[in-house]
Amino acid sequence: MVGQEHVVRALINALDREQLHHAYLFAGTRGVGKTTIARIFAKALNCEQGVSSTPCGECTSCREIDEGRFIDLIEVDAASNRKVEETRELLDNVQYSPARGRYKVYLIDEVHMLSKHSFNALLKTLEEPPPHVKFLLATTEPEKLPITVISRCLQFNLKRLPVALIEDRLQLISDEEKIEAEPGALRLLADAADGSMRDALSLMDQVIAFGDGQISEADTRSMLGTIPREQVLKLLVLLAEKNGPGLLEHIAGMDELAPVYSGVLDELLALLKTLALAQVVPEAAAGADGIDDLIERIAPEDVQLFYDIGVKGRASVVQLPDPRAAFEMLLVRMLVFSPAADVEPGNGQIRPPGDRSVENQTANDAQDENPAGKQAAELVANADPTISEVAGTEPGAAGWDELVGKIRVSGAARQLASNCELERLEEGAVWLRLAPGAVGMLTDQLKNRLRKGLSDFYGRDLKLHIEAGEIQSETLADRKSRESIEKQKAAEQSIASDPNIQAMQDAFGASVQDGSVQPLD
């Protein structure tokens, strides 16, 4: 019983002390050992050497149980024997003593499939069981069992097996059977098993047949429909670059490998999860090849958005008749809805909102016809960061709000900027004053992102100083909050003064529900 030590230990102690219950419930997902542990328990109860946690495995009872022909072990599949008549016929023999063994053991698999009347019949027996009878119930859905049945059983929850444990077991089996197995292939099989040892063994048998007695990574990927990890990493790189055309071209290349797109999406989500953890706790990226380069290239809010879109859209990749199209739409959605990117109409290019290359090209075209305009543009391009046309020179100048809207920052970094006012500009340095209520936002990571946005905008490396202090003027965040409150009040006033609303209030005693009025943007 691999990976279920918590259950095995409890049963060993019960057998060795002979503190036995009349009914046991084994719950867990498919292929984790529910029926197997029940059969082993039946051997321990009926071994001719005595009740013990170490049945001999050689006596007649042990061998017959192993071979499935022990007369006092009654195995029932509740999925196909769920009628009350069948259950009553089964339980009518409970009162009779065992024919051969020490205990008569009823092993009911998928017990949650029994009908309501069948449960009632079983419950009556569980309430007053004969001393020579033991019930072993197995189910994948314990929540469907009546609480009255569960309360009369000792319940053991068998857990899903971790990938590393399944991989180790497959390696042990391949070594014992003298089968050549590549570690990467066993890892793929363990991943595909989804916590089930039985599924892992079935997949192992399939790939052995597929690979003519060997287990290679290439054969395993081909059988499972998975693709190399580097291909999925390339998807993340293209997402980081906001490269829509390149993304679709890469998916077209992947399609030649006939991948299972739901599996590709699962690998992409796993990489995004690792990336998100690494951005918060750098140690989490240890040993994750290729992730280090992406930590700074993809904004944390983008990582969260990509993961959320992938999780919510997975059903479409599984259910739609064209999984490739669904997968492509999912990745395009990640680009289009990215808070750090805009879609430039007409050419499908994805660019950040602070990227002024298109505007600069338009200005250059105009400057070719207007020499004065060309000189002005050159002056702005080479402007010292202390110039006041953009950001203003006075503390709290409205120009700071305008600059926040133009620099290439998003998410939490933009919120940090919105809660600041410009204190002063010096040669190569920007000084900001942060509202006291927003001090919790001041982290090194957000400060560096804001500094980079300012440096990119001015085209030179700037120093950024942020200190908390009393705000002299209204910050951008305060202004937006005030405007939102004013819009809400105006909307509520508009509803309150509407003649139709007033007429309904007068005629029917109607009232406007609190929170139901929302202003139109």
pLDDT at res. 348: 46
Same domain, 153 and 251: no
Mean pLDDT of 172-187: 90
Least confident residue range of 13-22, 75-84, 337-346: 337-346
Q: Which residue has the higher pLDDT, 96 or 387?
A: 96
Rounded to 10 degrees, what is the CA torsion of 435, 441, 443, 448? -80
pLDDT at res. 367: 44
Whether 281 is in a domain gets the answer yes
pLDDT at res. 285: 59
pTM of the full structure: 0.54
How far apart (Å, rounded) are the C-alpha atoms in residues 485 and 474?
15
**Domain span at 197:** 163-224
Same domain, 123 and 58: yes
Whether 262 is in a domain gets the answer yes
Whether 365 is in a domain gets the answer no
392 pLDDT exceeds 50?
A: no
pLDDT at res. 310: 92
Among 473, 491, 512, residue at a domain's last position: 473
Among 110, 130, 157, residue at a domain's last position: 157
At 472, the amino acid letter reads: Q
Residue appearing with tokens 């997402």:
239
**CATH number for 429:** 3.30.300.150
Same domain, 182 and 131: no
**CATH number for 120:** 3.40.50.300
Same domain, 278 and 300: yes
**Chain length of the chain:** 521
Whether 23 is in a domain gets the answer yes
Largest CA distance in the chain: 109
pLDDT at res. 287: 56
Q: In the chain, what percentage of residues exceed pLDDT 90?
A: 24
136 pLDDT exceeds 90?
A: yes
Residue 518 — pLDDT band, cuts 50, 70, 90?
confident
CA dihedral sign, ordered 493, 494, 498, 501: negative
Whether 309 is in a domain gets the answer yes
**CATH number for 208:** 1.10.8.60
* Other beta carbons less than 10 A from residue 432's beta carbon: 21
Secondary structure percentages of the chain, helix, strand, coil, to 5: 55, 10, 35
Q: Helix or strand or coil: residue 47?
A: coil
pLDDT at res. 290: 66
Same domain, 149 and 177: no
396 pLDDT exceeds 60?
A: no
> Token digits for 305?
């958005």
Whether 186 is in a domain gets the answer yes
11 pLDDT exceeds 90?
A: yes
Same domain, 211 and 249: no
pLDDT at res. 342: 46
Whether 361 is in a domain gets the answer no
How far apart (Å, rounded) are the C-alpha atoms in residues 311 and 298?
18
Same domain, 173 and 236: no
Q: Which residue has the higher pLDDT, 270 or 25?
A: 25
Q: How many CA atoms lie within 13 A of 148 on its CB side?
A: 10
Compute φ and ψ for 350, nearest 5 degrees.
Answer: -105, 125
How far apart (Å, rounded) are the C-alpha atoms in residues 386 and 466?
17
Same domain, 167 and 261: no
pLDDT at res. 339: 64
Among 157, 187, 208, residue at a domain's last position: 157
Q: What angle do CA 384, 385, 386 make, to 5 degrees?
A: 90
How far apart (Å, rounded) are the C-alpha atoms in residues 105 and 137?
10
* Other beta carbons less than 10 A from residue 474's beta carbon: 15
Same domain, 309 and 408: no
* Other beta carbons less than 10 A from residue 277's beta carbon: 16
Q: Which of 268, 263, 252 is nearest to 328 (CA)?
A: 252
> Token digits for 21?
């219950």
Same domain, 201 and 260: no
Q: Helix or strand or coil: residue 72?
A: coil
How distant, in Å, are the alpha carbons of 34, 69, 262, 501 from that of 40? 10, 14, 37, 74
468 pLDDT exceeds 50?
A: yes
Whether residue 259 contacts residue 227, with contact meaning beta carbons closer than 8 Å, is answered with: yes
Mean pLDDT (the chain, rounded): 82
Q: Helix or strand or coil: residue 67?
A: coil
Same domain, 183 and 77: no
At 443, the amino acid letter reads: T
Q: Cα 64 from chain centroid?
A: 46
Q: Which of 243, 242, 235, 264 is nearest to 324 (CA)?
A: 264
Mean pLDDT of 341-362: 44
Mean pLDDT of 357-373: 42
Q: How many domains does the chain have?
A: 4
pLDDT at res. 137: 92
Mean pLDDT of 66-92: 81
Q: In the chain, what percentage of residues exceed pLDDT 70?
A: 86
pLDDT at res. 389: 43
Mean pLDDT of 379-397: 40
How far apart (Å, rounded) are the C-alpha atoms in residues 186 and 209?
15
Same domain, 317 and 394: no
pLDDT at res. 371: 39
Mean pLDDT of 304-315: 91
Whether 501 is in a domain gets the answer no
Whether residue 272 contacts residue 306, with contact meaning beta carbons closer than 8 Å, is answered with: yes
